Amino acid sequence: MTGGVVRYATPKLGGYVVLTALGLLASLIFGRPELAAVAAPFAVVLAIGLAVSRRPDVRVHVELDRDRVLEGDEIVLEIELDARDSAPRLELLVEVPRGLELVSGANPMALRLGLGEERLLELRFRCTHWGAPRLGDLHVRTGDAAGLLVWEQTLELGTALRVYPRPEELRELVGPRETQLFTGNRVSRAKGEGLEFADLREFVPGDRIRRINWRASARRGELWVNEFHAERNADVILFLDSFLDARRDDRGTLDEAVRAAATLTERYLLEKDRVGLVNFGGVLNWLRPGTGLVQRYRIVEALLNTEITLSYAWKEIDVLPRGTLPPKALVLALTPLLDDRAIGALLDLRARGFDLVIVEVSPLPYAETPPGELGELAFRLWKLRREGRRFQYERAGAPVVEWHEGAPLTSVLEGVNTSRRHARARV
Amino acid sequence: MLALGLTGAALLAYALATSATGAIVAGLVGVAASWSVSAWTRGSGAPGGTVLAAVGIFVAAELAYWSLDQASVPDEAELLARRAAGLALRASGVIFLVACVLAALGLRPGGGLALETVGIVAVVGLLGIVLVLARAVYEAER
């Protein structure tokens, strides 16, 4: 955690040299002794200051209280200073990356350390944005007593912080149309071992006694047994469109989409579903469906590294390896519907029979109507084109729900479920 | 003369407002020149106000460079108090030093061309030594 020390002269040293030189020369040239007297203090400060100047020996130890936090949490950076020498003026500056906000403590700060003095400084930061910010370098600048020379050293903190998106409260999830073979919490349409009553049938040898429905049997005069819906899990693929995002200041559609993906990952995994991730953008990456805590961390780690990478390469869903999109999987797409490649890939998925639900992270709050009549017309046409796309998906059997910034995700998912119920009723 | 002094003061104010280090020197030189010309036109050798002027210019320079530090990184309270005390101490030292210098110079105010040449060479040599020393230490540490 050490860097090279750079020593340099302060503007004061240069200024005092010039003042001394000018004073003494003017005194000699004009024969005015008082000018020499005025220059003398500067000369004395220079001479004594440079003669006794030495680099203060201060040891710095930096520690972060934790390296994995949720969005909105606070972290404390402890800076331990141990002065082996007196430091007349010590300046400290921590480079704060985007996504962290100083809550308490001073940054930068200037302080004085006496001989052998130890100080513990605490800087408290709030993690305002998900991501993997690397707490920047710590710049330590020590000056001599006269303020003529400074020594600057940069310490690489090298602490990679993981700020996970804070999960939202969800009342319900989008249920998949089809379940898989493994045991889970979802009521399957197939009959098997489970808790949800499905039907009655006649007793056949091999049926368990405890499944006999005695009331029905008494009424019919022969043995009848209860049948139950099997409890199975589902495969859920979160499709994150990272080709483009609409952004204003430090907020954007990708931020919302990543937060939603993290929330959905957590909730689906709690339901014992297998969750996978397809990050479809300039840089393509994917995670095959899996279950458990390890899968949750894998997905969230992958989400933290999500960023918009500009690419003109045309990409189709074929580029994904087999197994990434298992049959009967529910594909939950989080997209601003801005890039034709993502739009085409989603239509392709639907055409291949995947159960597709599109959550459109609306870019409208981030868009401004261009000035003038033509601008207004273009904006309206753009919105109409988006409506047309939505209709195209609906016609293909994939519900599209618009998610506006600030609206709770749970209400969006409820909207999806409602539209799917209506679609089923129509069928 | 007044214009020179005002220009110096204005330059100093500009330097403090914009953290322009070069303007600090120019401002101080302007103020010092204004005072010097004023003293010269009034005749007499070393004027009585020299000590006051020397302390004033020195304190102004110290405060100007201090304010530059404050503009980038503000001092914590303890450091601020210590620096203020240090400045007061240095200002007292300047009074003593200037008084001594004036007393020494008063013994022989003018020394002729040869002595002045020696003086100029001495000043240039002193500054050269300071610069060489500073550079040597810098190179060694780097």
Report the pLDDT value the prediction gives residue A1, as an integer from 0 to 100: 42
**CATH number of the domain encompassing residue A154:** 2.60.40.10
Shortest distance, CA B85 to any CA of chain A (angstroms):
13
Q: Find residue A334's DSSP bridge partners.
A: A240, A359
Q: What is the pLDDT of residues B68-85, one digit of tens each?
A: 888 778 888 888 888 888
Would A171 be classed as within a structural domain? no
* Tokens read off for A352: 């291949």
For residues B51 and B109, what is the distance between their CA atoms, to the nearest angstrom? Answer: 17
Establish how many alpha carbons lie within 13 A of residue A353's alpha carbon, considering only the half-sphere containing its beta carbon.
Answer: 4
Hey, is A254 helix, strand or coil? helix
CB contact under 8 A, B127 and A21: yes
Say if residue A226 is in the same domain as residue A285. no
Nearest to A7 among B72, B82, B141 (CB): B141
Q: In A31-107, which ranges are continuous DSSP H helix?
A: 33-52
Say if residue B104 is in the same domain as residue B119. no
CA angle A298, A303, A306 (to 5 degrees): 135
pLDDT under 50: residue ranges of chain A: 1, 427
Q: List CB contacts of A163: < 8 A, sequence separation 6 or more.
A: A69, A70, A71, A73, A99, A127, A129, A130, A131, A132, A133, A304
Say if residue B100 is in the same domain as residue B118. no
Per the listing, tokens 């010309």 go with B37
Query: CB–CB of A167/A18 below 8 Å?
Result: no
Say if residue B15 is in the same domain as residue B76. yes
Q: List CB contacts of A312: < 8 A, sequence separation 6 or more.
A: none
| pLDDT at residue B107 greater than cutoff 60 | no
- Judging contacts by C-beta atoms under 8 Å, the chain B residues touching residue A40 are 54, 97-98, 101
**CATH number of the domain encompassing residue A259:** 3.40.50
* Tokens read off for A20: 């001394």
Report the pLDDT value the prediction gives residue B76, as an integer from 0 to 100: 82
| pLDDT at residue B108 greater than cutoff 60 | no
For residues A2 and A155, what is the distance between their CA atoms, to the nearest angstrom? Answer: 5
Q: Which of the residues A17, A22, A34, A50 would you substitute to probe the B interface, choosing the one with the greatest number of B C-beta atoms within 10 Å?
A: A34
Domain count, chain A: 4
Shortest distance, CA A136 to any CA of chain B (angstroms):
18
Say if residue B28 is in the same domain as residue B74. yes
Residue of A nearest to B101 (CA): A37
| pLDDT at residue B109 greater than cutoff 50 | no
Q: What is the DSSP string of A263-296?
A: HHHHHHHHTT-EEEEEEEESS-EEEEEE-HHHHH
Residue of B nearest to A153 (CA): B142
Residue of B nearest to A11 (CA): B21
Say if residue B8 is in the same domain as residue B72. yes
Identity at B114, one-letter amino acid code: A
Nearest to B65 among A12, A33, A106 (CB): A12
Shortest distance, CA A153 to any CA of chain B (angstroms):
12
Would A174 be classed as within a structural domain? no
Say if residue B127 is in the same domain as residue B103. no
Residue of A nearest to B117 (CA): A28
CA angle A289, A293, A298 (to 5 degrees): 55
Report the pLDDT value the prediction gives residue A269, as an integer from 0 to 100: 92
Say if residue A361 is in the same domain as residue A391. yes
Report which of residues A391 and B49 the model is more confident about.
A391
Model confidence at B114, pLDDT cuts 50, 70, 90, reads low
Range of the domain at A48: 10-52
Say if residue B8 is in the same domain as residue B78. yes
Shortest distance, CA A123 to any CA of chain B (angstroms):
15
Per the listing, tokens 């004061």 go with A12
Say if residue A279 is in the same domain as residue A340. yes
Report the pLDDT value the prediction gives residue A327, as an integer from 0 to 100: 87
Say if residue A194 is in the same domain as residue A140. no
Say if residue A245 is in the same domain as residue A325. yes
* Tokens read off for A88: 């007349």
Phi, psi values for residue B15, rounded to 5°: -60, -40
* Tokens read off for A104: 């308490």
Report which of residues B33 and A383 the model is more confident about.
A383
Say if residue A47 is in the same domain as residue A78. no
pTM to 2 decimal places? 0.72
Report the pLDDT value the prediction gives residue A263, as an integer from 0 to 100: 93
CA dihedral of residues A55, A61, A62, A63 (deg, nearest 10): 180
- Judging contacts by C-beta atoms under 8 Å, the chain B residues touching residue A26 are 33, 36
Say if residue B124 is in the same domain as residue B101. no
For residues B62 and B27, what is the distance between their CA atoms, to the nearest angstrom? Answer: 13
Chain A, 75 to 104: residues with Cβ < 8 Å from chain B are 89, 91, 93
Report the pLDDT value the prediction gives residue A124, as an integer from 0 to 100: 94
Q: List CB contacts of A135: < 8 A, sequence separation 6 or more.
A: A64, A77, A94, A95, A96, A97, A100, A157, A159, A161
Range of the domain at B136: 111-142
Say if residue B90 is in the same domain as residue B29. yes
CB contact under 8 A, A33 and B21: no
A110 close contact with B: CB closer than 8 A: yes
Would A196 be classed as within a structural domain? yes
Would A177 be classed as within a structural domain? no
Q: Find residue B134's DSSP bridge partners.
A: none
CB contact under 8 A, A50 and B50: no
Would A4 be classed as within a structural domain? no
- Judging contacts by C-beta atoms under 8 Å, the chain B residues touching residue A111 are 75-76, 78-79
Say if residue A259 is in the same domain as residue A353. yes
For residues A126 and A98, what is the distance between their CA atoms, to the nearest angstrom? Answer: 11
Say if residue A26 is in the same domain as residue A64. no
Strands of A74-83's sheet in order across: A58-64, A74-83, A118-127, A100-104
For residues B125 and B103, what is the distance between their CA atoms, to the nearest angstrom? Answer: 24
Say if residue B73 is in the same domain as residue B137. no
Domain count, chain B: 2
Say if residue A385 is in the same domain as residue A365. yes
Say if residue A272 is in the same domain as residue A403. yes
DSSP A211: G
Say if residue A153 is in the same domain as residue A43. no
Model confidence at B111, pLDDT cuts 50, 70, 90, reads low
Hey, is A340 helix, strand or coil? helix
Q: What is the pLDDT of residues A99-120, one digit of tens each?
A: 899 998 888 889 888 888 899 9
Say if residue A414 is in the same domain as residue A274. yes
Say if residue B19 is in the same domain as residue B63. yes
- Judging contacts by C-beta atoms under 8 Å, the chain A residues touching residue B93 are 41
Say if residue B34 is in the same domain as residue B92. yes
ipTM, 2 dp? 0.77
Would A147 be classed as within a structural domain? yes
